[in-house]
Amino acid sequence: MNAKILGAVSAFALSALLAGPAAAEKHKIDFWFGNSGDIAKRVQEQCDRFNASQSDYEVVCTSQGSYDASLQNTIAAFRAGQQPTIAQVSDAGTLDIMLSGAFYPANKLMADMGYTVDWNDYFGGIKAYYATSKGDMYSFPFNSSTALLYWNKDAFAKIGKDHAPATWEEAADDFKALKEAGYACPLGFNISRDEVWQFEEQFNAIHGEPIATKRNGYEGLDAELVFNKGKWVQFVKDWKNWYDKGYAVIKSKETGQTFVEAFAAGDCQVILTSVGDHGNIGRTAKEGMNWGVAMLPVYAGTERKHSFVGGASLWVLSGKQDADYKAAAAFFNFIAKPEEALTWSTVTGYIPVRNSGYEYLVKQGFYDKAPYAGRELAIKSLTASPADDANSFPGIRLGGLLQIRQEISNGLQAIFIKNEDVQASLDAAAARGNEILRRFEQTYEGKQLP
């Protein structure tokens, strides 16, 4: 053999020997999620932190573009035997997947993989939304939120106010004063399917009013919608009155500016939106704008109840290998760490889902820092009353909730855009929603709620 070639081979062999055995390849699993935009970047960063934290597993995180797409793509992939190990499902899809049986229960997964989890560490309002009637957690609460009122302190100062409205009566006076002070959009809002939850579900939650019979569906698939029979009807009438007087303005992509963008730009002075938008508004707010958040208003004389959790949870799908489940459990153990809760809340605005995470943030002085001050109000809202309070509701457990939200949106479109009668439009929306519930009940005929 040529001496030069022999020398090169010997050098290569020596370097390989000195380098030791090749590093074992990480076991990969797929995690499909529905977030897009800025939040999608934050999810990817969390995945990167987990992958860098250990040498055994790699979670490949892929945005599906929206909650709808994530759920539909997951269902299609499952039918084809190509499902991801972890799938993010929005709060609205909880019952649909819960009854599908196509998952590995979260509590069983962690126990089987050797992890001890204090499931009672989760905030009651969050646990109640995702747990069974026996308290078993079937999924992992992930990007959890609730709605808050965002207000422009500078605009309110011009009408002589130094605080956000605590009641809807006070809010009505504030909207009128802001309009008279020259503000074109005192309250910015949208009535699309994805935005009605702030105004309907959260309103009924904090007022202790039912959205449906059977304890909002928790006690049976034969529940019927009743949002058209309570205080919310009066609220919609008041809301429409504000709209007619120019106190409330629809802001959406179709109008050229979403209501969140309008608030951040200083064009609308009040909005109702998720605490998950807190970080984005903080990064995009007009320079020098002084703003804050408050809990949602209630009608005078109301004993405030806890709001509902929004966002999504993570489900582990069945039909995978043991190594996949070990990787999933390791990932969930990582994101549950208080330090990770701090990082996640810092970059998103979403709240910690466990008491231990919240307490860690408090000890770190998180809520004392200007960019994050006020986010603790989301937790105060979620815990305003016990989740098992007989005079409130743990959440919403209705099949086809996304479609029901669409029917509520359609009803509001008829009221605001077509100027149709409030009661008649809400009655029609409830009737269409009940048809969805009956179809869902028929699909799962004979099945008992877990």
Domains of the chain: 27-144+309-381 (3.40.190.10), 147-307+399-443 (3.40.190.10)
Tell me the sheet residues that pair with 219.
none
Give the C-alpha separation, 303 to 306, whole Å: 10
**Residue 13 pLDDT more than 80?**
no
Phi-psi region at 236: left, alpha or beta (left = phi > 0; alpha = psi -120 to 50)? alpha
pTM: 0.90
Report the chain's mean pLDDT, rounded to a whole number: 92
Tell the burial category of 10 from Cβ atoms under 10 Å away from its Cβ (0-12, 13-18, 19+): exposed
Give all strands of the β-sheet with 270-274 in edge-to-edge order.
248-250, 187-189, 270-274, 147-152, 291-294
Query: Are the beta carbons of 183 and 155 closer than 8 angstroms?
Result: yes
Percentage of residues of the chain with pLDDT beyond 90: 78
Are residues 295 and 149 in contact, defined by beta-carbon separation less than 8 angstroms?
A: yes
Q: What's the pLDDT score for residue 447?
A: 86
Taking CA 403 as the corner, what is the angle to CA 226 and CA 443, rounded to the nearest 5 degrees?
90
Convert the pLDDT of each residue in 390-441 to its tens digit.
778 999 999 999 999 999 999 999 999 999 999 999 999 999 999 999 999 9
Q: What is the pLDDT of residues 273-329, one digit of tens each?
A: 999 899 889 999 999 999 999 999 999 999 999 999 999 999 999 999 999 999 999
Our CA angle for 183, 154, 181, nearest 5°, is: 30
Helices (H) and strands (E) in the chain, counts: 20, 11
Per-residue confidence band for 24, with pLDDT thresholds at 50, 70 and 90: confident
| C-alpha–C-alpha distance, residues 321 and 441, integer Å | 33
Whether pLDDT at 12 is above 50: no
31, two tokens? 């995690």
Percent of the chain exceeding pLDDT 70 equals 95
Residue 9 has pLDDT above 50, yes or no: no
d(CA 137, CA 273): 27
In angstroms, the CA 196 to CA 190 distance is 7
For residue 166, the SS3 value is: coil
Banded pLDDT at 23 (limits 50, 70, 90): low
Torsion angle in degrees (nearest 10) through CA of 81, 82, 87, 90: -70
Six token digits for residue 213: 């019979």
pLDDT digits (tens, 9 = 90+) for 318-351: 999 999 999 999 999 999 999 999 999 988 889 8
CB atoms within 10 A of CB 214: 16
> Please, what is the end-to-end C-alpha distance for the chain in angstroms?
73
Measured CA to CA, the distance from residue 433 to residue 213 in angstroms comes to: 13
